[in-house]
Amino acid sequence: MKIPFVKMHALGNDFIIFDNIDNPTIHDAKFINKISNRRLGIGCNQVIIIENTDNPENFNVKMYNSDGSETGACGNGTRCVADYLMKKNNLNSLTIKSISNDLLCTKTHNSVTVNMGIPKFGWNEIPLSKKQDTQNVKLDEFRAFCLSMGNPHAVIFVSNLAELENLQLKSIGPRLEKHASFPEYANIEFVSVLEDKTLRVRVWERGAGMTSACGSGACATLVAASILNRSAKENKIVLDGGDLFIKWLDNGSVLLSGDTEKVFEGFMGE
């Protein structure tokens, strides 16, 4: 049986999208792991499955990391699937319903914006393994500001850009992702404040590894930097794949904006 799919990306953060496919195979962790593999499958950071919905402007989705684990707060994935659905259904706004929360999405020209909701700061909301100061969590040789954007994040500020670019993220990332402080593992963001006050970020994404961009990670970075007086509440986040734009609203919710692109569509076998 041939299964149709769409491949999209946001700043190189890439996704395979299944649209209303009534086939349990696409939810299987082994299947997801295989098609996410860049040598054995199509290749992606996350797999997104659009499920049936009775409301044409509210879409239920399932999101899976490339290792097969389910996630609910993939900002760039949400923006990509929102762009796909808005074009398909001739909409300017819609709501993506995930396991974490309901995400309102809008589009202006080529930029797709998603409201990622209100960050959570309680140690048990992130979650951390024990009660502690969430703004100063010791992770081996690093100190992190930890919070949840619907998924756990650890934001680590480094002293300068050279230190950031020289970090051996492929060895540090997996160690911190699965640190004992994180019972559900965590996304790791390393950050340097640039001369123009924008934020340069490198990301190790939970369940996906080193990625060129991470939407929820960009949101977590802006929130942490703002609280620590390292950034305004609206800023540009410079990632390996390009720029995202984050605004922390007065009502507490966080807006994530940036470009998306459809790469190709096709069919795969089970």
Please spell the DSSP secondary structure of the chain, one letter per residue.
Answer: -EEEEEEEEETTEEEEEEES---GGGG-HHHHHHHH-TTTSS--SEEEEEPP-SSTTEEEEEEEETTS-EES--HHHHHHHHHHHHHHHT-SEEEEE-SS-EEEEEEETTEEEEE----B--TTTTT-SS---TTSEEETTEEEEEEESSSEEEEEE-SSHHHHHH--HHHHHHHHHT-TT-TT--EEEEEEE-TTS-EEEEEEETTTEEES--HHHHHHHHHHHHHTTSS-SEEEEEETTEEEEEEE-TTS-EEEEEE-EEEEEEEEE-
Q: Looking at 44, 74, 105, 219, which residue is catalytic? A: 74
What pLDDT is attached to residue 57?
81
Spot the catalytic one: 105, 146, 214, 219: 214
pLDDT given for residue 101 in this prediction: 83
Range of lowest pLDDT (88-102, 167-181, 201-215)? 88-102
Residue with tokens 């990301």: 203
Nearby residues of 209 by Cβ (< 8 Å), 6 or more positions away:
66, 173, 174
pLDDT at 109: 85
Which is it for strands 13-19 and 46-50: parallel, antiparallel or unpaired?
A: parallel
Peptide bond into 127 cis (omega under 30): yes
Given this chain, do its domains 2-117+258-269 and 137-249 carry the same CATH topology? yes
Mean pLDDT of 66-88: 92
Residues 117-139 pLDDT 10s? 999 999 999 999 999 999 999 99
Spell out the residues 6+ positions from residue 88 whose beta carbon is closer than 8 angstroms to its own.
none
Let me know: does 191 contact 164? Beta carbons within 8 Å: yes
* CATH T-level topology, domain 2-117+258-269: Diaminopimelate Epimerase; Chain A, domain 1 (3.10.310)
Asked if 214 is an active-site residue, the reply is: yes
Query: With bands split at pLDDT 50, 70 and 90, how would you rate the model's confidence at 100?
Result: confident
Could you report how far apart the first and last alpha carbons of the chain are, in Å?
Answer: 6
The per-residue pLDDT of the chain, averaged, comes to 94
Q: How sure is the predictor about 270, in pLDDT bands with cuts at 50, 70 and 90?
A: low
- Per domain, the residue ranges of the chain are 2-117+258-269, 137-249
Beta bridge partners of residue 60, listed in sequence order: 97
Count of CB atoms situated within 10 Å of the CB of 57 = 12
137-249 belongs to CATH 3.10.310.10 = yes
| Measured distance CA(111)–CA(92) in Å, rounded | 11
